[in-house]
């Protein structure tokens, strides 16, 4: 490897590190404020860099939001996929338990995902990107329902399951007068009830 190749590789690593820093800061900011209330300056301040530097990596706030959401979404796809791959006889109850736990433990992602589902202010192109990411997650659920059900519409089951799990977390994540542990336990119990319905 020549000196020029080494230098270029180092520059590329530096660029990727900065990009990761910006995306991480965006995840944190988007989890605290609604999409429309976040500015590039907010993200720059969180990252400890100038706002002008962000524009070298992302053309606008929507691009940054989508990138942050997709990065976190890829983690849940990998997590659920690994859960299924590690246990050929995985039960829907176990997937439900882990999915709810993931959403509780990754509140930043959950808030971004909820914003995407509830607010239509993103461009069609950006919504398309997020939808494609969601379809990858639904494909993981399809794998489970394909094993469980014969001849049924697997994708519709996956949609219903995804909506039910998100509904549990949306409804009870800020349940008043309960500790985080009590709220999580309550959501897990609701998840088990719903998972048993899907088994039938």
Distances (CA, A) of 47 to 33, 66, 122, 190: 16, 17, 23, 38
With a cut of 90, say whether residue 168 has pLDDT above it. Answer: yes
Please report the pLDDT score of residue 171 as a whole number. 92
The residue with greater pLDDT, 189 or 65, is: 189
Please report the pLDDT score of residue 108 as a whole number. 72
With a cut of 90, say whether residue 191 has pLDDT above it. Answer: yes
Q: Which residues contact 40 (CB under 8 A, 6 or more apart)?
A: 51, 54, 55, 61, 64
pLDDT band at 127, cuts 50/70/90? confident
- 80-98 average pLDDT score: 83
**Please, what are the domains in the chain?**
61-199 (1.10.357.10)
Question: Given the structure tokens 């049924």, which residue do they identify?
Answer: 152
pTM: 0.78
Please report the pLDDT score of residue 3 as a whole number. 67
- 72-95 average pLDDT score: 83
With pLDDT > 90 as the criterion, what percentage of the chain qualifies? 35
Cα 200 to chain centroid, rounded: 28
With a cut of 90, say whether residue 187 has pLDDT above it. Answer: yes
Distances (CA, A) of 67 to 14, 27, 44, 62: 18, 9, 16, 9
Cα–Cα distance between 33 and 111 in angstroms, integer? Answer: 9
């Amino acid at each position: 490897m020549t000196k020029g190749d080494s230098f270029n590789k180092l520059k590329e690593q530096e660029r990727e590190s900065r990009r990761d820093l910006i995306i991480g800061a965006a995840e944190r900011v988007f989890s605290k404020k609604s999409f429309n209330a976040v500015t590039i300056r907010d993200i720059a301040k969180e990252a400890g860099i100038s706002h002008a530097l962000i524009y070298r990596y992302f053309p606008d706030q929507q691009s940054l939001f989508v990138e942050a959401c997709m990065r976190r979404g890829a983690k849940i796809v990998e997590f659920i996929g690994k859960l299924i791959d590690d246990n050929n006889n995985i039960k829907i109850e176990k997937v439900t338990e882990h999915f709810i736990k993931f959403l509780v433990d990754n509140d930043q992602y959950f808030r971004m995902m909820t914003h995407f589902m509830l607010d239509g202010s993103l461009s069609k192109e950006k919504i398309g990107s997020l939808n494609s990411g969601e379809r990858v997650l639904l494909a993981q659920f399809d794998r489970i329902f394909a094993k469980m059900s014969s001849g049924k519409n697997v994708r519709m089951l996956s949609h219903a399951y995804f909506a039910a799990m998100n509904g549990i977390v949306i409804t009870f994540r800020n349940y008043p007068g309960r500790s985080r542990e009590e709220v999580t336990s309550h959501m897990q119990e609701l998840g088990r009830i719903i998972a048993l319905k899907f088994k039938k």
